[in-house]
């Protein structure tokens, strides 16, 4: 598999807010760890249905969310990749967001089995 191309396609799917296209990249037993949450790892979602629901909530909360300036890094020997980006968007309440962040991806058999997300805290 070409991990760099997959990361590019994933970023495009996220920017299109296309949940079906996004979820096509994920394995059934995938795990998503979001930056915010009450645990040291943030919020953990397991399985495609739960991850889809979490991502739908993201798109609802930031309807114009966009991952700009994407850069992708690959360790093909370890089936991993990192996508760095600048997230921009406006909340439903009208608050503008702009943060830099990254996603650590792990793949198995061409599918995402883990997406671990991080972003800067802007105060």
81 three-class SS: strand
Question: Residue 56's domain spans which residues?
Answer: 3-119
Q: 62-118, pLDDT tens digit by residue?
A: 999 999 999 999 998 999 999 999 999 999 999 999 999 999 999 999 999 999 999
The H or E element that residue 23 is part of is helix 19-23
pLDDT in tens, 14-73: 999 999 999 999 999 999 999 989 999 999 999 999 999 999 999 999 999 999 999 999
Looking at the structure of the chain, the number of domains it has is 1
* pTM, to two decimals: 0.93
Q: Hey, is 93 helix, strand or coil?
A: coil
pLDDT band at residue 11 under the 50/70/90 scheme = very high
pLDDT score of 102: 98
Mapped onto helix, strand or coil, the DSSP state of residue 30 is strand
CATH (domain of 10): 3.10.450.50
């Amino acid at each position: 598999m070409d991990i760099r191309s997959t990361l590019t396609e994933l970023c495009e799917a996220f920017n299109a807010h296309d949940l079906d296209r996004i979820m096509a990249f994920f394995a059934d037993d995938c795990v998503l760890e979001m930056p915010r949450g009450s645990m040291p790892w943030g919020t953990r979602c397991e399985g495609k249905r739960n991850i889809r629901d979490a991502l739908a909530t993201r798109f609802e909360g930031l309807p114009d969310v966009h991952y700009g300036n994407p850069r992708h890094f690959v360790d093909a020997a370890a089936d991993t990749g990192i996508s760095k980006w600048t997230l921009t968007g406006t909340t439903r309440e009208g608050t503008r967001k702009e943060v830099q962040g990254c996603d650590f991806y792990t793949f198995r058999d061409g599918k995402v089995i883990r997406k671990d997300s991080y972003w800067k805290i802007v105060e």
